[in-house]
Amino acid sequence: MAYLKMANWKYYTLTLSLYIICILGAIFVEDIAIIFDFVGAFGLSITCYLLPGLIYLVLLRNEKAFHEVESPKQRKCNTIGAYSVIAMSVFNMILVIVKQFTGVN
């Protein structure tokens, strides 16, 4: 377990900081829908679009990966697709932030 390898002062500082952030968020956030918007948009964008695209691009750079599975033409199309979904994910996150700060529905 990773936290067992962490120094005690780092563990307790991080734990206390996260606890304080959660408590302050609960005190000052009046509408939980804002939190759900951010968590939903960022969580969905990261797990469904950003991570698969990034993982594919990282695998392309790995010399030990089995690159003969796809042809160069397929690899080019997949690379374009990976960059496209990454861009779409970042654009979605920006739209959510703009929506929250401008109040546009």
Greatest Cα pair distance in the chain: 55
Calpha distance 102→100 (Å, rounded): 6
Helix (H) or strand (E) holding 18: helix 8-28
Question: 16-63: per-residue pLDDT in tens?
Answer: 999 999 999 888 888 888 788 778 778 878 888 889 999 999 988 887
Q: What is the mean pLDDT of the chain?
A: 85
Return the higher-pLDDT residue of 87 and 29. Answer: 87
The pair of three-digit structure tokens given for residue 83, joined into one six-digit string:
């960059």
- Regarding predicted confidence, which is higher, 11 or 37? 11
Q: How confident is the model at residue 105 (pLDDT cuts 50, 70, 90)?
A: low
